[in-house]
Each structure stands twice: as C-alpha cells, then as structure tokens.
Structure 1
Amino acid sequence: MNKLQSIQNDVLKICKVIGIIMIISLSILKIINSNQIEPYVDEIFHIPQTIKYCEFKFKEWDNKITTLPGLYILALIYSNILSMFGIGDGIWISHCSVVVLRSFNVFCLIITFFSIYEILKISTYNLLLSPASSLSSLKINQKEVIENKNSINNTIILRTIHLSIFPIFYFFHFLFYTDVVSTCSIFLTLLFSLKNKFNLSSFFGLISVTIRQTNIIWVFFITINNILKLYEENKEKQNYIFKELNLIKDIIEFIKFSIFNLLLIIKKFIGFIMVGILFLIFLYYNGSIVVGDKSNHESSFHVSQLFYFSLITMLFSLPSILISSLLKRFGNQNEGNQNENEKKILLYDPIEFLKNINFKYLIVIIIGMVLMIWKFTYTHLFLLSDNRHYTFYIWNRFIEKYSIGRYLPIPFYCYSIWFIWKVLSENRSKLWCIFYFLSTAMVLLPSPLVEPRYYIVPFFLFQLNQFHYYNNFIIQNGTIGRFFY
C-alpha cells in the first residue's frame, strides 16, 4: 500500500467515525430541543446576547455575562453561513434560534475530533521515533513503526473517540455554553503549535481568550512549553540528559537559556507575545479579568479546587490504567523476569502506591491538606442555590451535611495527585510537569465556584500528554505486537 492510499484509508476511517458520532449527537440534540426548546440554565444569558448580535445591536450588553463576546461573534458568523444555504428559514428553525445556536456546539464536534486526532498522531509518532523517548528501551525502530502504522492509527482513532465523548465535555455540546468552543480553540492553538505554525497558533489563542479570559493561562502554557522544547532540543544537541538534572538546577538552566536566546524567542513567538500584550491592555482598561458581573465572580484562593480536579482526573483516567496494570500483573505473575517497560505499568496502580509509600511523609501531607481544606474551601452562593447541577447534591447531601465530609476524600486526593504526577513524568520532563501544575493552579485557584466544566482543559492536557497505553505493546522477537487499550 503506497503512502497516498494509506492517507486515503485513514481519512475514510475518520470520516466514517465522525459521521457516526455526528448522527448520534444530532439525534440527541433533536430529543433535547423537543423537550427543552427554551434557553436552559446559563443559556438564558448567552442566547439573548447572541440574538442581539444577530440583530447587529453590538452596543447592547447583558452585565450578568462575565466573558468576552468571542462566542457570540462566532455564532453570528455560523448562523449567517447556515442562512446562505437556506437553513434557518423554517418555522421551528429560525435565524439565531435556540436550535441553531445549540447546533453550533454540535458542529464543533467535527473540529474537536480532528484536532484531538492530529494532536495524538503528532505526539504518538514523536514518542515512538524520538531517541529520548521512554520507549526507546523497547528498541522500536522507524521500520517497525512504519510496518505497524495501520495498527497505530487505529489505536489513535479509538483514543480520539474515547476523549471526544468525555462525559463532562460531551454534555455541553447540546447547550449553548462557552465551554465547547473555548476548548476547541485551545485544541487548535495546541495543534498548530505542534505543527510549528506559531502565528496561526497564536491567532487561535487570541480567539480562545475572547471566548473565555482564563484561556490566557493556557496560551501562556503552550508558549512556555514551546520555549521548553527549544531548551530540551538544545540540551539533546549537547548530549545533555536534562531529565537527570536536579529540578532547581534545571529551572536555573532554563531561565539562563531563555535570557541568552531572548531575541530568538521574541522572533519565533511574536504572535503569542502580542496576545499577551493585548490581554494586559484589556486588564488595564477593564480593571479585572471578569467582564460584567464582578460581584459574583470575585477571586479567591480556593486550594480545594486542585483536590477536586485531581480526583476527577484520576477517576476518569484510572480504569484504563488499572486494566493495563491487572493484565500485566496477572499475565506476568508466573514469569520470573519483567522488562523495565512492563514494570512501569504497575507503578500506576494503588497497590504499588501503598507498597512504596512513606507513611511518615504521608501523615505530614495529610495534616497539611486538612489545614488547607479547613482554611481554603469556599461555598459559593450558586453552589447552594441552583439544584440543576450535580455539585449541588454532592455538596448539600455529603460535604456540608457531615462535618467530616470534606475531609474523608483526603486519601484519594493524595493518590490522585501522585497519580497525575507519576503518569505525566514518565513521558514529560519535570519542568513540563511543573508548568502544567502551575497553569492548572492559576486557572482553578481564583474560582470560588465548584464547576466540573472548569476542569475540562487541564483534564484534556493531561490525557493528551500521557502515554501509558503505549506501554502495552506486546514485544516479541524485537517487533511490535498488537495494541490494546
């Protein structure tokens, strides 16, 4: 099979998959629209504001809205494109109606799917072919990767399906919220960054900020990791094993590299720098990151947000890793030897966590977490008053109802934070992990309101940068066997 045929087959597979997903999604949307034709929850703010934009009333603004108008401008363009093709003139479906606006997020599923697929594809082949990869011990050469390209691509497609229908994210495709378009724009920013198309990447980064202001943190994260990539490539050229550096020394070396190569960095990433400057100008004139309703969105130091995020990330990631661990554990229990790659898989499961834990340190950590939860847990008014969210019931029927309720999950928080660090540090440098945790903290800490949808972007960044499933290669006689996830 030649290269062109291989590409055509991959495109055909992807189109079939996305076609099935779209049919299912549009069917769900039809059911929702039939039962809830009126704006629901936060749609009561977003939809009327978009309708004003559709009527070209750009000076009218609902002060209850806290985000910039990027979503409304994109929805205006989308609805006009539909009108050009004669869609939107019916009695049920009208121009900028609830139905049309909700369909915009379902349409974004196509962009989401292709973006995730391309990001995974680039990351996967970089991982398999890079001499610095943690899989290099498997002695996988370029020829073997090419021979098994079809299996690899099938695995990536399955992985893409898995991520595209992540429940917390997928749910919002059927409501006119900012979350889908916001996440989609971050995917595009990351994708074009991986393709080294930095001006295009920064353009989508700017769009992402106009949809949700906190996306500036993820634009910064992508930018700083592009600089980190230059730093690591420079170390590789010098045959310098940066992963073995002391973390403090590594940070100092990274800062030195950034200073000495400042002109190169400015020239290469000028688009991202301009996005940062524009955001600072916005902050100066607006006086806050929040637009509109500032009283209900005051900044906090909500440390517990990080614990909630880590727990959700672990819960949605753990099943696949546990399956991998159990398969390896029971599959090798009668074998005396395991290669290093097989042993790594076992390090993720809770049994190994308990076996290797230092209980003296754990007690200190638990005491620290108790103090942080006691001092830095916030109960937002919306959390107590709106029973249309699952968090309302979790909070009222467990955490607030029992005085010890907020402290009981601490052991799970400990494991989930360790789990995230362990998984990421297997395939990313410690500096990358530090930047990831800092960026996640900068997004989540200031928010007093507990909303699982705030965890969508950091969850996806975790998922797109952990490759434990590639450790499930069955290696026989130096060749790549079949994948399973």
Structure 2
Amino acid sequence: MGRLVVAAAVAGWAIPIAALVNSVVPEPYMDEIFHVPQAQQYCRGDLLTWDPMITTPPGLYFVSLAYVASLFPVAWMFRVAETFDVLCSTAALRSTNVIMAMVCAVLFHDLLLCIRPGIGEKKATIYAILVALYPVHWFFTFLYYTDVASLAAVLAMYLFCLKKQFWISAMFGAFSLLFRQTNVIWIIFVAANGAISYIQDLYPKDDIIHENIETTHQSNRVVSSKDNKITAQGLRRRRINSPINKVFVSESTKLYNNLAEEVWDITSKLWNSKCKVLIAFAPFVVVMLAFVSFIIWNGGIVLGAKEAHAVSPHFAQFLYFGLVAAAALLPWHCTLSQVLDLFHLSEKNRTCSYLAVLMGLGLSFIAVHFFSIAHPYLLADNRHYTFYVWRKIIQVNWMMKYTLIPLYMFSWFSIINILGKSQTRIWVLSFVLSVALVLVPAPLVEFRYYTIPFVILVLHSPVIGNSKLLALGLLYAAVDMFTLVTFLFRPFHWEHEPGTQRFMW
C-alpha cells in the first residue's frame, strides 16, 4: 500500500507541473539542447551519430526509447502518431524523468524499510514523499537530464544488494554507469559494505556478542518516536530472521575501541573468507573489469568535451556538499541539541577534539584557498542557480569564502556525528571517502552531483518526528514553488554579452 501511495503522490504533482513546464518552455532548455536531439536521433534509428559535447553514456536515451516504444502501439491505434519518431518530442522525452521520479520514490520507500525495519510503513511513506520533494531532485524531474534515472539505478542497486541478490544488484550497477560514469564509486561503496555485511554472517559468534551488546543498549534507551518503540526481544528476533544483514547497526561501534581495530578485524575476516567473498561478489568484479576496459578504450572517464571536464583537484567541492546537505536537513543538523551534542562529544576527549578541529581548519583553509575552482561554465551561464551562489555569496568579497569555513566544518562534523550514532566507523569512513571521490575530481560546482550522496545520507540518518518531517516538507515545497516560478516566468532567450564569458537573459 505504501508504494502505491508514494507513486500516486509523486504523480499527483509531477504530471500537472510537467504539463505546465512543457506549455511554457516547449523547446529544449540548458543542457537539453544536447540530450533531446541525441535521443531523437535514436528514435529515428540512428544509433551511430553522437554529439561530441555530450559527456555521459546513452543510458537515458535507451530508457526513453523503450518508454516511447511502449506508447507507440496505443498512439498508432488511435492515429495520434503514424511513425515512431514523431512521439519523441521534447515533452515526451521529459516525461521519462517523471516516471523515473516515481520509481525513485518507491525504491527509497523500500530501502528505508530494509535499513530500518522498525520505522513503520506510514513514516517510510512520508520520508519517500519528502525525498521526492528535495528541490534539486524535484527540479530535474521536469527536464531531460540524466540525474533522476541515474539515482533510480543506484537505489535499485543498493536495494538488491541489501537483499543479497548480488547478480541483480551488479546488473543495476552496470546500468547506472550508462547514465553517469561517476556511479562507479557508488558501485564500489555498495559492494564493499555488502561484502562487510556478508562476512558478518560467516562469524555467528561475533553476531551473538553483537546482539547482546545491542540489546542491552536498546533496552536502556527511551525512544520518543512511536514507530521506533520495539522490544529487545523483537529486535533480537528481527536480527536473526531478517534477510537483510545488519546494515543499520545502532551500537556496533561498541565492539571496537577505535577505527584501526575495526578495520583490522574486518580486513582479517575478509582475507580469511576471501574465496567465499570473491565468489559471492563476482558480478561486481565483472562490472568493474568492464568499466576499466571502457576507460582504457575511451582514453578517460568522460565521453565528450573532455577539455571542459578534465579531472581537477576541487577539494572545496567536498566542503560545499557538507554545507548544502546540512542546510537541506535542518531538523537533523541546525538545532541547539545537535550543537550541544557536538560540544559534549568534544568534552569527552579534549585533546583529540582540539586536534581534529585544528586539522579541519587547516585542511579547509587549504582547500578553499588553493583548490576553489571557478569553472568557465559556472561563470558563463546565469540560468544556473550556482551562478548566483558563486557571485552573490562565495565571491561577494575576498573574505566570504574564508568566513564560510566554520560552517563547512560544523556541517561535516555534524554529518559524521549523526551517522556515527547508527553506523559502524568503517561505514562512515566509506561514505565520506565515496563523497570525496565523486565530488573532488569534478571541476564544475553543480548541485545535481550532490543528489545521490544526499539521498544515502537521509537513508542512514536517525528517524525524526512527524512534525519535523512536515516542517521540512513544507520548506521543500516552498523552495520548489519559488524555483518553478523563477524558472517559468522569466524570459528564456539569452545571448552572449560582448567581451565577457557571461550569458544574459
């Protein structure tokens, strides 16, 4: 029932808004000027022509091709379209992402129930609808970009890995690479954590110890949310009987004194069970070998416009994500209780905390001062919101980019602290490294790149009350409406301003 409600809710707003967008902006917009003609070439049966400005593989075009083909028999029957390629209009191609947005919401719903079995169907439904309203994801639901379909493929890969259906998971991982090449990092992330979860099943004695520790802590904890009130006995029974392998472990860090000990223990177990792990995760190995072969054949990870998308050490991008994610999850991070929590945590070990703060300040300063990249695309096109963020905030004066460093640090410390309450240290480390590997090489500041790590962060953050979820949903809806109004009711004819690299409306 929850899946149906989620899909119906997303369709309820996505379909009419998509119709409005297509009526006001019928022609390809921004990067659609590359994607739409390329997809229409595929609709005409021309699979060999390729626009050299397109940097991503043709996964979205194949999905659109299958989607439009499914509509053609009905259109032909009612004489709406006599030929297949007539259906591949800009509006029809954009509607691909409306379907993909519904799929994303349903997948998120199922993932949340897998990761947090005690959350309840109702709250999982609310969470899924909330993520569908996340402004960046919501906006690109109505344009013909690769990001929504890319998110759907990664979520499907994650879901089937949690269900231990590794061949299907690897298949979706390979499929995700057809949308964005950087999804290879999320394949490694999912496979690595899946392998760690897999070996935990091979050591039942450790699991019994873990259950006793976790049950003790859970029984002494008062949980405010009704959906999370589960007994220690029920928790133990779910742990034993559930096919999902302890992905959400609330007190697992108690088993180890530090990160080094945890890494050593897991590494030892992986080595001792290397044959079993390699056999189980062979599908992911095949995908990785195929991807490496592609890079060698292509001469790099990017397909077209390689000069404009060269790998660059953009460490400031990593900091931007922390601030954007924390701001988009206000009820988790921007609260007095979270500030006090971080303060009390620092008081437990002042020396380590001071060293961590000093190291964070130093590294953040180096990242901001030496590795803040202003990509030509960022400066050239004022139809992107990042154009205004860069000019009106980050570059408003020479001090602003340094003034933001404490906010960057607080955001990342808050993210790590919150994840650390529910995940193992090695899981948190793998997430942080994955975010860095996806974002740091990207020279262009683009909020679309933050969507997948943001969704994974939401999946693994502690559950909050319905009132906070409602407030955040209303905030997202307000930002969505603002974005829609500014998008629809400003002129779309832009021209190059002589003597500059900036485009003007």
1:351-430 correspondence to structure 2 within 5 Å: 351-354=340-343, 357=346, 360-361=354-355, 362-430=357-425
Q: Tell me by how many angstroms 1:36 deviates.
A: 0.6
Change (3 A) 1:89 1:309: farther
Gap regions ≥5 residues in structure 1: 1-10, 129-150, 327-345, 473-483
Q: Secondary structure at the match of 2:421?
A: helix
Are 1:161 and 2:129 matched, yes or no? yes
Match of 2:184 among 216, 219, 227: 216
Residue in 2 aligned with 1:283?
295
Question: 1:73–1:398: structure 2 CA closer, same or farther, 3 Å change rule?
Answer: same
Counterpart amino acid of 1:95?
L
Q: What is the TM-score when the length of structure 1 is the normalising length?
A: 0.81
Per-residue deviation, 1:420 = 0.7
After superposition, residues 35-114 of structure 1 pair within 5 angstroms as: 35-86=24-75, 90=80, 94-114=86-106
Deviations 1:297-341 (A, max 9, x none): 00011111111000111111122566xx67xxxxxxxxxxxxxxx
CA RMSD of aligned residues (A): 2.4
Q: How does 1:187-206 map to 2 (within 5 A)?
A: 187-206=155-174
**Aligned AA for 2:279?**
K
Partner of 1:39: helix, strand, or coil? coil
Select 1:33's aligned residue among 19, 22, 29: 22
The alpha carbon displacement at 1:235 in A equals: 5.1
Partner SS, residue 427 of structure 1: coil
Contact 2:333–2:415, Cα closer than 8 Å, also in 1: no
2:229 counterpart residue number: none
Q: Is the 8 A contact 2:181 2:301 kept in 1?
A: yes
Q: Which residue of 2 aligns with 1:18?
A: 7
TM normalised by structure 2 equals: 0.78
Aligned residues: 415
Equivalent of 1:317 in 329, 343, 348: 329
| Residue in 1 that maps onto 2:267 | 255
Find the aligned partners of 1:28 and 1:70 in 2 and give their Cα distance: 25
Q: Is the 8 A contact 2:326 2:333 kept in 1?
A: no
SS at the partner of 1:249? helix
Q: Where does residue 222 of structure 2 map in the other structure?
A: none
Q: Aligned partners of 1:192, 1:367: CA distance in 2, in Å?
A: 41
Are 1:297 and 2:309 matched, yes or no? yes
Q: Is the 8 A contact 1:353 1:415 kept in 2?
A: no
Q: 2:430 aligns with which of 432, 435, 439?
A: 435
- Does the CA contact (< 8 Å) of 2:420 and 2:428 recur in 1? yes
Read off the aligned partner of 1:210 and give its amino acid letter: L
Alignment CA distance shift 1:95-1:272 (3 Å): same
Task: Output one character per residue of 1:411-436: Cα deviation in whole Å (capped at 9) or x when no partner.
Answer: 11111101110111111100011111
Residues 136-186 of structure 1: CA distance to partner in whole angstroms, max 9, x if unpaired? xxxxxxxxxxxxxxx821111111111121111111010000000000100
Q: Deviation digits for residues 439-469 of structure 1, max 9, x if unmatched?
A: 1111001001000110000011111111242
Q: For residues 416 and 437 of structure 2, what CA distance do their matches in structure 1 show?
A: 17
Query: Residue by residue, what CA displacement relative to the aligned partner does 1:246-293 show, whole Å, maximum 9, x if unpaired?
Result: 211221222222222121112111211111010011011111000011
Q: Distance in 2 between matches of 1:73 and 1:152?
A: 36
Secondary structure of 1:64 counterpart? coil
1:228–1:432 CA contact under 8 A, matched in 2: no
User: Aligned equivalents of 2:38 and 2:410: distance in 1?
Assistant: 43
Which of 444, 458, 462 is matched with 1:463 structurally? 458
Query: What letter corresponds to residue 197 of structure 2 in structure 1?
Result: K
**In 2, Cα distance between equivalents of 1:227 and 1:371:** 35
Cα–Cα, structure 1 residues 165 and 383, in superposed 2: closer, same or farther, change >3 Å? same
1:84–1:449 Cα change, 3 Å: same
Give, in whole Å, the separation in 2 of the partners of 1:220 and 1:85: 41
Other-structure match for 2:141: 173
**1:423–1:468 CA contact under 8 A, matched in 2:** no
Query: How far apart are the structure 2 equivalents of 1:78 and 1:68?
Result: 18
Render the CA deviation track for 1:324-369: whole Å, top value 9, x for unaligned: x67xxxxxxxxxxxxxxxxxxx4xx224435654584434532332
Identity of aligned residues (%): 31
Q: Distance in 1 between matches of 2:367 and 2:461?
A: 28
2:247 match: none
